Structure 1
């Protein structure tokens, strides 16, 4: 969410409001609703089975204030070859809230989903934005048990340029409660703020970003001030959250595969930082998705899913996801499957 008033808008004739066939088919493949407990907190995730249960798997991790359903239309594009999970981080979506959050809190929750079962011997973590940050931490803590991590529009900076995103944040406050669903849904914005031609996707994820609350109900931060609709995240989740200066070292020494996927038009695609990442980890493929801004999976969903599929297939062929596939083995994925 964001209250920033200015945004570069696409012309009306470029906006796509109807749900295309591929999107409708993806949503028709409804994932299973599952829960796992991490450090006493109930963690919600969605799960899509591969056509063969013994296939490797991956977990999608959303960004700031988002939720698992950002990948409802991505995951089904991968299930010809892979088991797929998409999780709600602690304090977001349908996962439980906590009194305190640390980067390790998030990493342990991601690991709980990854290792809960059904994602293969060496699962892969795919994290976007803030989800990329906590995916990096997960790789640092659990890399020897992972097949790889994909950092999506999250930069690994040199130690001298390390940033603390939440250090100078204004005081946190409760999320606003709107009188009805329609009013609340109309207020949905991406953060960082950007427009998106795929308005049908914004409508979908925006609607799933809301929860109905009752006056006096306590979701973990005291009684609600009114009845109505509000956002599905703990507004105090980032209060005092420390990111740390060790990202570059963690990136360099991570024992699993690593890749970086960036929107070619994203403000987070900084050539200087990307050059540092490539120098730090020469074995890591780092590339851009054309015509995508920060929210890659919203701007270019088919290209994004194809990129994830290609990396999974490559890593599997190298044996990083468990037992190495032999030439001609039907377990080896079809590189074109995600784009069909």
Structure 2
């Protein structure tokens, strides 16, 4: 099942890029990646869901991948929510929201803070209202660790290996090109706006976590939490808190996966997501 590139107009008229697959009138699923990633992190999951009978939309978040960069540097939580709501408004039926890390926080807030129903189900991928400070620092250190970029793909691959040391190395580094941009200086840079970290970090995590906790307590739709058992971002305690806030939520803890669950154990992850979606009324 091939995916087709499509553009949407987001909050403040920002251009958003997505890979779209499946029949247009099929139940929609919106896939939202984590901070610093791109829509390509969902590649196999998006194609599998399209083959399973869902209309899949895998988005590049603002400032990431081929989506537009905010001219005013607005990478606030509310801007990401505004983009998501703009895409939801183009659909004829409420979608299922599947979000990892930043994408999951955005999906949770879009659902829990909305006055009307925005989605029919929610899948949170290694994200909860109370995340491990050490894990969050680990992510930020990686994202800010190479401001000078990379001379070649091997250097970029080495940075990824330091960040995720237990992941098997691919036979080729060519896949990294989906997450890098080549600038005029001949160097490769991660495919996100540097202002995303600089400006987005102005929001206090404590305020964001409080918003997420309040939003989670209001979620009535079917919900699935997928955690990577070796995650340094979502602890068992953090998962339990989420399940207390959303007592009807289902929970899958995937062995052998860290924070990047879909990349670490893709087949197991896809099976968990598809099984949950197929059980929805």
Would the TM-score normalized by the shorter structure come out above 0.5? Answer: yes
Q: Could you list the runs of 5+ residues in structure 1 that have no partner in the other structure?
A: 1-28, 215-225, 318-340
TM-aligned CA deviation for residue 141 of structure 1:
3.6
Distance 2:272 2:86 in 1: 25
Match of 2:124 in 1: 151
Mapped pair 1:314 → 2:276:
no
Go from structure 1 to structure 2 and tell me whether the alpha carbon gap of 1:129 and 1:173 turns closer, same or farther (over 3 Å shift): closer
TM-aligned CA deviation for residue 269 of structure 1:
4.0
Go from structure 1 to structure 2 and tell me whether the alpha carbon gap of 1:269 and 1:81 turns closer, same or farther (over 3 Å shift): same
TM-aligned CA deviation for residue 128 of structure 1:
0.8
Which of 253, 270, 280 in structure 2 is aligned with 1:288? 253
Match of 2:20 in 1: 47
Greater CA deviation, 141-150 or 301-310?
141-150
SS in 2 for 1:59: strand
Q: Name which one, 1 or 2, has greater alpha-carbon Rg.
A: 1
RMSD after superposition: 2.8
Mapped pair 1:258 → 2:228:
no
Instruction: Answer yes or no: is the 8 Å Cα contact 2:112–2:217 preserved in 1.
Output: no
Match of 1:129 in 2: 101
TM-aligned CA deviation for residue 199 of structure 1:
2.5
Match of 2:49 in 1: 78
Moved over 6 A (4+): none
Question: How many residue pairs were aligned?
Answer: 265
SS in 2 for 1:145: coil
| CA shift digits 1:304-328 (9 cap, x unpaired) | 111111111122x2xxxxxxxxxxx
TM-aligned CA deviation for residue 111 of structure 1:
2.3
Distance 1:81 1:135 in 2: 22
Go from structure 1 to structure 2 and tell me whether the alpha carbon gap of 1:156 and 1:189 turns closer, same or farther (over 3 Å shift): same
TM-aligned CA deviation for residue 145 of structure 1:
2.1
Distance 2:164 2:264 in 1: 13
Match of 1:300 in 2: 265
TM-aligned CA deviation for residue 231 of structure 1:
1.6
Go from structure 1 to structure 2 and tell me whether the alpha carbon gap of 1:45 and 1:71 turns closer, same or farther (over 3 Å shift): same
Which of 8, 19, 30 in structure 2 is aligned with 1:36? 8
TM-score (norm 1): 0.70
Go from structure 1 to structure 2 and tell me whether the alpha carbon gap of 1:185 and 1:276 turns closer, same or farther (over 3 Å shift): closer
Q: Could you list the runs of 5+ residues in structure 2 that have no partner in the other structure?
A: none
Distance 1:127 1:109 in 2: 14
Q: Which residues in structure 2 correspond to 1:74-223 (within 5 Å)? A: 74-79=45-50, 80-98=52-70, 99-117=73-91, 121-142=93-114, 144-157=117-130, 175-179=147-151, 181-189=152-160, 193-197=164-168, 199=170, 203=173, 205-214=175-184
**Which of the pair is proportionally richer in helix?**
2
Distance 2:189 2:248 in 1: 44
TM-aligned CA deviation for residue 95 of structure 1:
0.9
SS in 2 for 1:111: helix
| CA shift digits 1:214-246 (9 cap, x unpaired) | 2xxxxxxxxxxx343222111221321344222
TM-score (norm 2): 0.83
Instruction: Answer yes or no: is the 8 Å Cα contact 1:174–1:235 preserved in 2.
Output: no
TM-aligned CA deviation for residue 176 of structure 1:
2.0
SS in 1 for 2:40: helix
Instruction: Answer yes or no: is the 8 Å Cα contact 1:184–1:229 preserved in 2.
Output: no
Match of 2:29 in 1: 58
